[in-house]
Amino acid sequence: MSILPNLLYEIQRIIPGYRGYFIKNQIAKDDALVRNTAALWVSEALAKVENERNSVGSSMGLNLSGFDFEKIKQYDTLINALREIYTQLIASPSGLRSLPLDQVTLNQLIQFDYQLITACKSLVDNPSTSIITQVQNLLLERKRILYDTVIKP
């Protein structure tokens, strides 16, 4: 079996119930488990950034001479990016309901799932623009994999 058993095991440790798209009637469930888990971590990161932004804003008070507009703008940029990612994860159609998935596609999806969940989990501790960009790129890659599997053939 060439499906990267270590990655599959790691995902199963993080997301109980994940089966790696092997059980045909569980394919959509596996996809939803990954997206919902990733969305949960993104929402935690979003709450953290919003709290930090609010505390920075309230600590500056009404004294506009010392108000750091640039810092608030950076927080707002992070907040907007995290909201966009969250929406993409929650609103994204599964596209995997009962597709015939070949071994190459299975390997790609499992690698994608692992990269996505580890990146989203790291956002909770470090909601940085580099990790946000990584997650955005992974979501684009997911769309490409699904396009190649569903639409292209």
Q: What is the mean pLDDT of residues 127-142?
A: 92
**Contact present, 27 and 96 (Cβ < 8 Å):** yes
Span 29-52, pLDDT tens digits: 888 899 999 999 999 999 999 999
**Contact present, 90 and 35 (Cβ < 8 Å):** yes
Domains in the chain, number: 1
Is 60 exceeded by the pLDDT of residue 28?
yes
Residues of the domain holding 109: 5-13+20-151
Query: What is the C-alpha R_g of the chain?
Result: 18
**Contact present, 124 and 41 (Cβ < 8 Å):** yes
What is the structure's pLDDT at 1?
Answer: 46
Is 60 exceeded by the pLDDT of residue 2?
no
Side chain identity, residue 114: Y
pLDDT band at 24 (very low <50, low <70, confident <90, very high): confident
What is the structure's pLDDT at 123?
Answer: 95
Question: Exposure pattern of 99-117 as b/e (b: 16+ CB <10 Å)?
Answer: bebeeebbbbbbebbbbbb
pLDDT top residue among 68 and 8: 8
Span 70-126, pLDDT tens digits: 888 999 999 999 999 999 999 876 655 556 667 777 788 889 899 999 999 999 999
pLDDT band at 134 (very low <50, low <70, confident <90, very high): very high
Nearest to 101 by CA among 5, 25, 24: 24
